[in-house]
Structure 1
C-alpha cells in the first residue's frame, strides 16, 4: 500500500503543478494576444487536461505501476492538449484580432485637448472669426497636431453649412482664405466628401439665383464644347442603362389530333393566350456624365451622346442616378447610375431656366 500511496501523491503533485503551469502560461498568453494572433488553450481546455491527469493517476494507482501511470498520464495530456488547441482556435481569433482605430481617434487620444480645441475652432469658423484668432486657439496643441486639428474642425463646420437651407454670403471666400493660410491644398480638400458636398451646395444655390456656376474643371476634357458652353459638373465612372422590352405569348391549347395519313396529323381545337410584356434595365456603357449649361453629354469609349436641354422631355430622379427621357417618338428612357442623383436632378432641372 505504501507504493500505491506514493504513486497517488506523485500523481496529485504532478497534476497540481501542471495546473499551475497552465494557469500561468494562459495569463502570459492572454497578454501577448493583445498585440498578435496566436493559438491559445482555453479555460475549458485546462479543465479537460486536468480531468485527463486525474484519470491517468487513477489508472496508475489501480495498475500499481508508476510506469503505467506515467504513460497514461502524459499520453492523455498530450492528446487532449492537441484537441483543445485546435478547438480553441476560433475563440482565440475572436478575442485576439486587433481593433481598427481611425486616424482621428488616434489624434484625439494622443492629446486630451485635441477634441476641445477642434470644437472651439469649429465654432470660430461658423462665426467667421479672423485667421489670427484661430491661430491662437491652435497654440494650445503641439505643432504636429495643429494642421490636423484645424482640418477636422473645418470638415465638421462644412457639415453644418451643408445642412443650411442657404449658405451665407462670403462663406466660400472665407473658407478659401483660411485653407490657403493653413496650407491645406485643393487636392486634399477635393478628397474630402464634406468639401465636395459644400461645393455642390454652392453650385445649386448659384443656379437657383440665376447664376451659371464656374467651379468645376476637367484636367482633360474629352468633349468638344460648343461656343460659350460652360462646364457645370462631371460625373466619372457612371453606368448607362437602357430599358429592354420583351414580348412573349403565353397561354394553352386544347383539342384532339386526327390522323390524316401516315405520319401526318391534323389538330382540331383552339388556342387561348395573351401577350406578356416584360421590361428590364441592361447595362450598355461605362463612362462619364458631363453636365454643362447647354447640353448633357454621355461619354464612353464605345459611344458618346449629346442631349441638348431643349430636346429632353423629362428627368426622373433616383438616389443613386437619374433617368433622362428624350423628346423623340418611341425614344427609350436613358438611365445613368453611379452618381449623386439628388444633386444631378437639381442641376439639370433648373439650369434650363437660366438658358431661357
Structure 2
C-alpha cells in the first residue's frame, strides 16, 4: 500500500500556537477582559482522553491570555448519565460561562438548557445537541469532511475499488454520526466502491473485533474499514488480524492520541484523521468571552484536521499528535 509522503490538512488552520498549560488558570489580568475575572467551566466528554486533554490545554492557554479562571471536569466514561451530575453541580456553582462537549444529543439537552436558563453563557465544543439554540456558539471539527478524508485514504490505498465498512461507537453521538455520514457520502460518489453500512461496537473493542470477523467471513473481499473512534480501531485491527487479512484491508482510524499513534507506527491502522482539539478549546474561550463582553459571536465554527500516515507521522504530521498533559 503506497501513501503520499505529505500530510494534507483540510479546513481551518490552527488559530493559536499553544506553548503549554496547567490544570487550572488563575486570573492574569491586563487584557480587555482581565478586570472582569470571568470564571469558565470546561466539561469534557470524558476525563483522561488525550483529545479532551489537548482541548483543555487550548482552553487554559486562551483563558490565561484573557485573564479568566478555568475549572475542568469530566465524567469517567462518555455517558450522559455520568455527565449530567457534573453539569448540575457546575450550574450550582454559577460560573460565567460553560464550555461543554455533550455526551448525547438528546439526553444532555435539559441539563445544558438549565445552565443557559441560569444565565451561564454556553459554548458547545466538539459535540452538539438536537436543539443547540441556547448556545452562544458551536465549535467542532468538520466531521463530515473527516469522514470524507478517511475514504480518500482508502481510495489511495485501493484505487481498484472494493467493499468498505464503517465501525462506529454508538448512534446518537453527533460527531461520529457525522463522520459516518461523510464517509458513506463519499463512497456513494465512487462507483468502484460498495458500502456495507455502519455497525456499532458500543465502545467495546471485543465487539468491534466480532463485527469485523463476521463481516470478513461474509465478505472476504472487504478492502477498507473506517473506524470512527479509538476502540473501534483497536477492535477492527484485532478482527482483521484474526482473519489473516492484515495485508489486504486498510483500516483508517480517527483521532491521534498516543494509543492511536502507536497503532499507526505498528501498522495496525494505516491512517489516522487527526482533529485540532486545542484550537476548538481556544476558540470556545474566545466565543464565551465575546458573549460575556456583549460582543458578537459566531454561531458555528468548524476546525480542520490532518491525515496522518506512517510516512509523515515523524515529520510534518508530528504537530497534529494529541497531548497527554498540559505540562
- Structure having the larger proportion of residues in helix: 1
Structure showing greater Rg: 1
TM-score by length of 2: 0.25
- Normalized per residue, the structure richer in strand is 1
TM-score of the superposition, structure 1-length normalised? 0.24
Higher relative contact order (CA 8 A, sep 6+): 2
